[in-house]
Each structure stands twice: as structure tokens, then as C-alpha cells.
Amino acid sequence: MYETKAKEIVKTLTLEEKASLTSGAEMFATSCLEEKGIASVFMSDGPHGLRKQEGKQDFMGKNESVTATCFPAACCVASSFDVEVAEKLGRGLAKNCQAESVDVLLGPGINIKRSPLCGRNFEYFSEDPYLAGSMGSAYVKALQAEGIGASLKHYVANNQETRRRTSNSKVSERAMREIYLSAFEKVVKEAKPWTVMASYNKVEGTYLTENRKYLVDILRKEWGFDGMVVSDWAAVHDRIAAVKGGCALTMPGDSLHDHVIVDAVKSGALEERLLDEACEQIVALSLKAQANRKKTSYDMEEGHRLAVELAKESLVLLKNEGDLLPLDADKKVLVVGAFAEKARYQGAGSSHVNAYKVPTLQEVVGNCPNVSFVEGFGMEDSYDEKKAQEAVNAAKKADVVVVMAGLPPIMESEGFDRYTMKLPRCQNRLITELASVQKNITVVLENGGVVEMPWADEVLAIVEAYLAGEGVNEAIWSVLTGQTNPSGHLAESFPLCYEDSSAYLTWPGEGNEVTYGEDIFVGYRNYSSRKQRVRFPFGHGLSYTTFSYRDLFVERNRYVAGQTLEARVTVENTGKRAGKALVQLYVGCKKGATAINRPVRELRRFEKVSLQPGESKTVIFTLDQRCFSYWDEGAHAFRVPGGDYTIEICQDAATVLLQQEITVEDEYIASGQKYDLMTPIVDVQKHPLGKEFMEEVQPMIDAVIARMDMGKASAQMPYAEEMPKELGLLSEPLQTIKRMLPMLPEERWENLFQEMNEE
């Protein structure tokens, strides 16, 4: 409806009017032509809370923004592994936007956490595209169901802040499709965001704001996106190239250069139909925004309660030896650290929110006689001997010590990347000193990204709070005291040290060239495939109760492309507390099980279920073709490679609880490959005619091998069952087979290649 009306309106506009629409009127407002029915659309920062400035808008956010609810950041929300949490976040944000007359919220950010040091990781969900896409899709659907448009960002391969405006991301076609585009594809297809934001960086040497391959060919033609493409702020360098590339709206305002568009159309440098297409996107967005506007009031207390609820669902219990947690009400508890007074609850930069209220931990605890506080260390990385000694002395007298640690704002923000995974030295040193005099220590972390924990073996309990929003301390205390049973799980891997991270050797690149050398092996895909030890694996999370998983059932032991496959598993609460269990389903593929180099397992489905003690539930998953596919660069399409796979129910990305083997049939997709005598047998078998031919001649080949006594030798080969199928004879060219089969006439070979190459 909006698109049809927009086309009609654009036909009535002058060239100058069209040009004026393609850049903003103000910092966060689009241009308008009220007499034509085109109203200005107001956009605002705030993936996890509204950042609408009062009075004059400015690029750096110098002016105070309106008071708003600061919800947990994406790094925290993703740890809930619960799409309902993402939905509630979207609805909560929408209500705040409606009350402040905001039409489009600039979020969510669903970029992949390629490196643990990206300064903006707190704004992103995960290192896994399926999880990021699932959470992002739920967020966008809920936000837009309330009449507020989403701006899906930052599209695409925008995985660092270093040289973010000039860097060129060099990503293989396969990694781009499987890892970096996948989450965007899922959200675009499932949630249909009103807008998509083109990022600062280049891909394949072309700025995203000018990159027609990604903005038109993939986004629109392949995925069916029908919304508006907007630039990231100040990401357009060439207005004409942006319109040609498919970026409809340049932000912020650039009216001084609108004449460039007019002149380009008049000179023939820019086709007017492309300008019309851009204007149709902008006008359709305006019409949609106008139709969905409704002035409402916003209840700040209700918003705060929701922020607390979401944080409770997302905190991750990483370690709990000896059941130190939950805290015993009769024990003397000492809280150490400046974060108790000044919590780190949100990120810095364009997502910074003027929060409604952030109760300190002291305020949350109240006048509890068994809980005392000492500072120990401040927000600066300066070891104060007097404060530290006071904390050590107090720790000796306490029953339990809770250390509130984390990354101060100066260490992570939009605009720059972190240069270390370490916590401030003063924190690491004091935690170790406390552990030398007190064994019952819990460390609570407030941070937007992964950190090293050199003291992890010295403390009994660790809670990851991430940036949990304005309700951070209420959520933390609820988890520590057992009022809330923690159910969060890590949406990213915690390596032992930065040098272990998958992108360590190639991140953040050389000059402006950023080569994604780890390819598809990002995060747990790397660690699990290499059986590399990490501090805490992707998907890890503990509870105050226990769960058992049993009766994995997969409906068939053979899968053919195009089918769906149902898998179900029963999970039971075997403990004494009510809790929420996370069921993680991965599709596994041992190295060498197919002719394709793949991660040993990949998350394909997940579901969180609430269970009372003794209660059990059966969770049913439906797996589709994409669950078994990889991106075939020859065919330029997702394809299912044949081989042996496992359906796995996992505790985390490193620990398999249940598994069932299945055989997957190879899917053939024409890729333009030419076949001849030098084509390896393993490649010939992927073609239906080649497979048919090999099945025909296999008995003759077996007879030759038997006469050569190679069959007996193969049977005696140590670890023969572990040999990848593509090794050995299958890696030989057809020429080898021809020599083994002199009885086949030359005409048979010629006909084979002619038929296989006809496609």
C-alpha cells in the first residue's frame, strides 16, 4: 500500500524536490514536502534505550538527551538465549519511542563479534549468526508491531572501530554468506525491517553506501527487502554513487550538495529512474511512519521494572564451586569494588542513554546488618595500598567476599577498539590478594566484551553481568541471593587470553586492508574444531538447579536436500529449585566426513524451557535444508554436501550430551565446472551423471584393487575408520580410473564428459 502510493507521489515531484529528499533536513530528521504529503521522519539512536537529545541535535551527543529507560545492552540480552526477552525489549523500546515522537529507532546492531576487542561488541548480540539473527528478528518484529520502525545495522562486515570509516573488509564469499550476511538475511526475511543502515567501511574495495552488489543485488533482489536503505551518519562520500549503489538516504543533512544530484541527472551521469527508486523508498517510509504515529505517555517505573526483569533473565553464572551461591542470609558478606557504587551498566558513544535511575548496590541491599562495603579499588587503574589493605583486612573477617569488577568506560566505547582483554591491573591484583586470605570469593563482572580472568581458578564463583542496564544492581543482588535462579548462557566464547582468539593474527588489519584470515572459523567454530581449551565456551551457563537431557530422537537417519527433519529431546529438572534449562541443538560434522572443510559443529536451534523440580518437557526442533548447507563458491549458492553428520544436544559448544548419527545425501547444483580426465573422482561424484558412472564402474575397480591386494592392505590400515573420505583414491583424477579400466571404450569417456559439461 505504501509503496504504491509512494510511486504516485514521486511522479509529481520536480527534480529539485527529489534531490532534496535524498539527504536529511537535520541531524536525525529526514527532509519533508508537506504539500505533497511527505512528512519528516524522526530517527533516534538507542539500540537498548532512547537517546533523543533535547533541543538542538548534534553528531557527538554533546547536548543532554531526554530521560529514558536504559535496558540491558545486546551483549547482555543475547545471553538470555530467549527470543521472548528480545521481544520484550523491542516492545519496551517502542513504548518509549512513541511517547517521544520517534518514528525509527537506529537498531538493533547484529554484526558478528569477530574479535573480542571490537570496541562496539556491547552493541552486538553474538559471535554466532543464527543466535544473532534469531534475537534480532524477535526484536525487530516486536518493535515494528508497535508502530516503530527498526534500522538494522551495520550492514555489513563492520566488525571493528579501528579505521572504521576507511577500512576495506576482505572476506571470502563463503565466510561472507555463512557468517557475516547470515544474521542480516534472517532478520530481513523474517522481520522485514523498515530500514537497513549501510555501514562506514568498504567491502571488496567499494564503500557499502555505494555498493550495489550488497544493497540491491543481495539485499533487495535475493532477500526481498522492500524498505529504505539509509547511510550510517557521515558514511556517504559521493552522493551520486550512493544513489546509484542503492543507498536512498544520506544522513545527516547535506542540503548544500543536493544540487549535485540535480546536475548529475541533467548531464546524464545519473539515471533519473535510480533517483526515483530512492525517493520511493523515502516517501514510503514517511507514509508508513505517519500511519503508525500515536501519542502516548510512558511510565518510567514500568520501564525500569522491565529493565530489571530482562537483566535477571540474562545474567550468566559462570562458576559456582561448592555451591557458594546463592548467598546464605546468615553469612557475613563483604562487597568490594567501586562498581558497587558506580555501576558499569551501559556502553559509551551513540547508544549512551540518560537513564531514568540506577540504584546503587548499597541502595538495593538496604540496611542489611550482614552486608558491608569497602571500595578496595576505584574506576582508575591505580592500586591504592591503603584501600587495598582495608579490603584485605575486612575479607579476613567476612564469610563471603563479593568483588564487583569490570571494565571502566574509558576501556571500551564506540569509536575505538580495545587493545587488551585484560581487566585493569589494580582489579586483578586485589582479587588475587583477597583470594590469598579468603577462599569464599565471588567475582561479578560488568563489561561489554570478553575479558581475561587470570584469577579464575582462585575464586569459587563468577557471575557475568555484562552491561545489564539501569536495573543492573537489582538483578545482580537477586541472582546472588537466589531470588532469581540464573539462566543466562554465553553468546560468545571466552578464550584464556587474547592470543588464543580466532582473529588474533589478522585483526584489525594492515592499514586500511582488513583480511578476514580465519574465514568461517569465528569464535567457537574455531575453538571447538581445534579442540582448543577456552576459559568458558560459547553456550556455557550454570544454574542453582540441575538438568538432565535424554531420549534424543531424530525421525530419520538419512537426510535429502529439500526435506525437513524433526528432532526431539526431553529435558528434566533433577534439582530442588525451579529453573530454566537451555536446550542447544548443533549439527556436527567431523573433519573429513565430507569433502568440505567445515566447523566440527554449528548451532542450528535453541530453546529455553522453564521447569519445576521433577518436571520434564520434550522440546521439538524442525531442521531445514539450511541447517546442513554451506556456501558453495562455485555454484554461488547454499548447497548440502553429502556425508556423515551428527545431530547433537550440547551443554555448550565444547560439550556434547547426546548425539545421533545421520547420513546426508549430496545435493548437486550446477557450478559451471568443466569435467575431464584430470577432474578428481570426489568432484565427479558430486555430479548426478558422474555419480551414476562411478557406481557403474565401481565393481570393476574393486576387482582390480583386489587383484593388486590393495583391499587387504586397506583393511589393515591403522585408524582406517578415521580416514577422510576424500583422501586416497578419491582424490585421484579420473585418469587413474581410466588406466585401471582399459576395457572401457574411448567413446564411453567422451560421451560422459560431453553430457556432464552440457549444463
Res 726: pLDDT:
64
Domain ranges of the chain: 2-292, 310-513, 547-664, 681-756
What's the rounded Cα separation, in Å, for the pair 48 and 346?
9
Res 431: pLDDT:
98
What's the rounded Cα separation, in Å, for the pair 482 and 283?
52
* Mean pLDDT (whole number) for 257-274: 97
Count how many Cα atoms sit within 13 Å of the Cα of residue 574 in the half-sphere of its side chain.
Answer: 7
> What confidence tens digit (pLDDT) does each residue in 53-74 have?
877 776 655 678 999 999 999 9
Res 61: pLDDT:
58
| Mutual angle of helices 258-267 and 272-292, in 10-degree steps | 140
| DSSP symbol at 36 | G
Answer yes or no: are the C-beta atoms of 117 and 421 closer than 8 Å: yes
Structure confidence at residue 1 as a pLDDT band (50, 70, 90) = confident
What's the rounded Cα separation, in Å, for the pair 284 and 664?
45
SS3 assignment, position 167? coil
CA-to-CA dists, residue 355 to 64, 76, 153, angstroms: 11, 17, 23
Res 273: pLDDT:
98
- The size of the chain, in residues, is 759
Answer yes or no: are the C-beta atoms of 662 and 646 closer than 8 Å: yes
At a CB cut-off of 8 Å and minimum separation 6, what does 719 contact? none
C-alpha cell of 511? Answer: 592499514
From the candidate CATH numbers 2.40.50.100, 2.30.42.10, 3.20.20.70, 3.20.20.300, the one assigned to the domain spanning 2-292:
3.20.20.300
Assign domain 547-664 to its CATH architecture.
Answer: Sandwich (2.60)
What's the rounded Cα separation, in Å, for the pair 463 and 339?
14
SS3 assignment, position 429? helix
Answer yes or no: are the C-beta atoms of 86 and 76 closer than 8 Å: no
How high is the mean pLDDT of the chain? 95
SS3 assignment, position 442? strand
- For residue 442, the cross-strand partners are 402, 461
> What confidence tens digit (pLDDT) does each residue in 456-509 have?
999 999 999 999 999 999 999 999 999 999 999 999 999 999 999 999 999 999
646 sits in which H/E element: strand 643-652
Is 676 one of the catalytic residues? Answer: no
Answer yes or no: are the C-beta atoms of 640 and 628 closer than 8 Å: yes
* Mean pLDDT (whole number) for 405-431: 95
Exposed, middle or buried, 330 (CB in 10 Å: 0-12/13-18/19+)? exposed
Asked if residue 395 has pLDDT above 90, the reply is yes
Asked if residue 721 has pLDDT above 90, the reply is no
At a CB cut-off of 8 Å and minimum separation 6, what does 164 contact? 158, 200, 201
* Mean pLDDT (whole number) for 558-573: 97
Res 349: pLDDT:
85
* Mean pLDDT (whole number) for 573-602: 93
Residue 145: phi and psi, rounded to 5, are -65, -25
Over the range 636-651, which residues count as b (16 or more CB within 10 Å of their CB) and which as e? eebbbbbbebbbbbbb
- Classify the C-alpha dihedral 728-729-730-732 as positive or negative: positive
Res 715: pLDDT:
56
> What confidence tens digit (pLDDT) does each residue in 334-344 have?
999 999 999 99
| Runs of H (alpha helix) within 315-400 | 361-365, 385-397
At a CB cut-off of 8 Å and minimum separation 6, what does 622 contact? 564, 565, 566
Answer yes or no: are the C-beta atoms of 585 and 605 closer than 8 Å: yes
What's the rounded Cα separation, in Å, for the pair 159 and 325?
36
- Classify the C-alpha dihedral 396-397-399-402 as positive or negative: negative
* Mean pLDDT (whole number) for 353-381: 95
User: What radius of gyration, in Å, describes the C-alpha atoms of the chain?
Assistant: 29
Structure confidence at residue 725 as a pLDDT band (50, 70, 90) = low
What's the rounded Cα separation, in Å, for the pair 467 and 353?
12
Bond from prior residue into 252 cis (ω within 30 degrees of 0): yes
| Annotated catalytic residue within 45, 82, 128, 232 | 232
State the residue for C-alpha cell 581445534: 530
Percent of the chain's residues with pLDDT above 70? 96
> What confidence tens digit (pLDDT) does each residue in 21-53 have?
999 999 999 999 999 999 999 999 989 999 998
Answer yes or no: are the C-beta atoms of 292 and 194 closer than 8 Å: no
Residue 147 Rama label (left phi>0; alpha psi -120 to 50; beta): left
CATH superfamily of 310-513: Glycoside hydrolase family 3 C-terminal domain (3.40.50.1700)
515 sits in which H/E element: strand 513-515
Q: What's the CA angle centered on 312, arms 108 and 476, to 5 degrees? A: 115
| DSSP symbol at 510 | B
| Runs of H (alpha helix) within 520-663 | 524-530
* Mean pLDDT (whole number) for 615-625: 98
C-alpha cell of 578? Answer: 525451579
What's the rounded Cα separation, in Å, for the pair 108 and 700?
60
CA-to-CA dists, residue 21 to 91, 148, 208, 250, angstroms: 30, 21, 20, 9
Asked if residue 727 has pLDDT above 70, the reply is no
* Mean pLDDT (whole number) for 584-594: 89
Res 620: pLDDT:
98
Res 121: pLDDT:
97
Q: What is the dihedral of CA 391, 395, 396, 400, to 10 degrees?
A: 180
Res 717: pLDDT:
65
Res 62: pLDDT:
61
At a CB cut-off of 8 Å and minimum separation 6, what does 582 contact? 81, 487, 489, 539, 541, 606, 607, 608
At a CB cut-off of 8 Å and minimum separation 6, what does 11 contact? none
What's the rounded Cα separation, in Å, for the pair 525 and 528?
6
CA-to-CA dists, residue 657 to 253, 255, 259, 616, angstroms: 55, 60, 64, 17
SS3 assignment, position 444? strand
Res 590: pLDDT:
86
